[in-house]
Amino acid sequence: TVYNRPGRLPRGTQFSPEMLEAMIDQLDRLIAKYNSSDWETKLTAIRLVELLAEHRDKIKDELEAIKADNRELSDTDILGPEERKRRMELKRQQGTSAGDSGFSKEALGQTNETKSEYFMTIERDMEKRRKEQEKKDALALKSLEEKLLKEAGFVD
């Protein structure tokens, strides 16, 4: 489950409205794709659309709550490029030096490291699974080739 994933993001991490809107756009795109006539007979596609729509609705609710509460995001939250740019400009206007973003090195390091570690762990796991599947496929293909050669009489 999500809760057992290695490198999981720290509890309490929030997404900026910009990031939530990007998620909603992607979910809308996927829902439209798998809700099309090409997929309407596939039970997995129908179920996927249901799950994606449910997830999209939860994200929309979160987005509305953030906008209504006017929540304050921290430097360690997941911010979109526009929000990061806005914050950096605000820090510059408040008198930070040109080479300093105004964010604490601790906060930046934790954020980048935590997020990078999370996605790198997932990528390593996916790569490991892909290689294992390739090995299984290669063994199955070799076995099938040997069987067909025996049946054809080419091998004793």
Give 82-99 pLDDT, tens digit per residue.
888 888 888 888 875 444
Mean pLDDT of all residues in 47-76 = 88
Identify the residue with better confidence: 17 or 5: 17
Contacts of 76 (CB under 8 A, 6+ apart): 10, 13, 107, 110, 111, 114
Mean pLDDT of all residues in 69-82 = 80
Identify the residue with better confidence: 85 or 25: 25
Mean pLDDT of all residues in 45-54 = 95
pTM: 0.51
Contact 34, 48 (CB under 8 A): yes
Rounded CA gap, 67 and 63, in Å? Answer: 6
Is the pLDDT at 65 greater than 50? The verdict is yes
Contacts of 14 (CB under 8 A, 6+ apart): 66, 71, 73, 74, 77, 78
Q: Model confidence at 122, in pLDDT bands (50, 70, 90)?
A: confident
Contact 23, 59 (CB under 8 A): yes
